[in-house]
């Protein structure tokens, strides 16, 4: 299957700082990427749909000013957690839809810890 790479895999930051997470499709172009959040032993909750060259579509209850999404190229989407607080600590996962219209492939995830 296609490869989606997320970076960093783990990050620890101080409260009040911002953290950027990158999601790259390595061997295909992805016009659509999705960002999920996952709490321990819980399911994946969709945060937003990222479309190349346009604004992201956020799910209800997700603060767009808190979680900034940029999809500037066909192979890269970024999620920036602004002014992070301990409650933002979570596992963030992206997925990318390949251009051959098969299913979306997931990145490895990013474990964010805000201290």
Phi-psi region of 61 (alpha: psi -120 to 50; beta: other; left: phi over 0): left
> What torsion do the CA atoms of 108, 112, 113, 115 make, to the nearest 10 degrees?
160
Q: How far is the CB of 45 from another protein (least distance, A)?
A: 6
CA distance 3 to 53: 21
Using the rule CB under 8 A, which residue among 13, 68, 74, 104 binds another protein? 104
Collapsed DSSP state (helix, strand, coil) of residue 86: helix
Residues 31-60 that bind another protein (CB under 8 A): 32, 34, 41-46, 49, 59-60
What the block records as the tokens of 15 is 């409260």
CB nearer to another protein: pick between 6 and 77: 6
Q: How far is the CB of 89 from another protein (least distance, A)?
A: 15
**Which residues lie near another protein (CB under 8 A)?**
1, 4, 6, 32, 34, 41-46, 49, 59-61, 91, 93, 95, 97, 101-109, 111
């Amino acid at each position: 299957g296609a490869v989606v790479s997320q970076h960093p895999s783990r990050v620890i930051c101080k409260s009040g700082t911002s953290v950027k997470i990158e999601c790259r499709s390595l061997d295909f172009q992805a016009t659509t990427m999705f960002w999920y959040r996952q709490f321990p032993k819980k399911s994946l909750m969709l945060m937003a749909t990222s479309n190349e060259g346009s604004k992201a579509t956020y799910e209800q209850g997700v603060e767009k000013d808190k979680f900034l999404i940029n999809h500037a190229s066909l192979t890269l989407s970024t999620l920036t957690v602004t002014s992070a607080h301990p409650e933002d600590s979570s596992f963030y996962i992206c997925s990318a839809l390949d251009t051959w219209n098969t299913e979306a492939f997931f990145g490895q995830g990013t474990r964010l810890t805000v201290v």
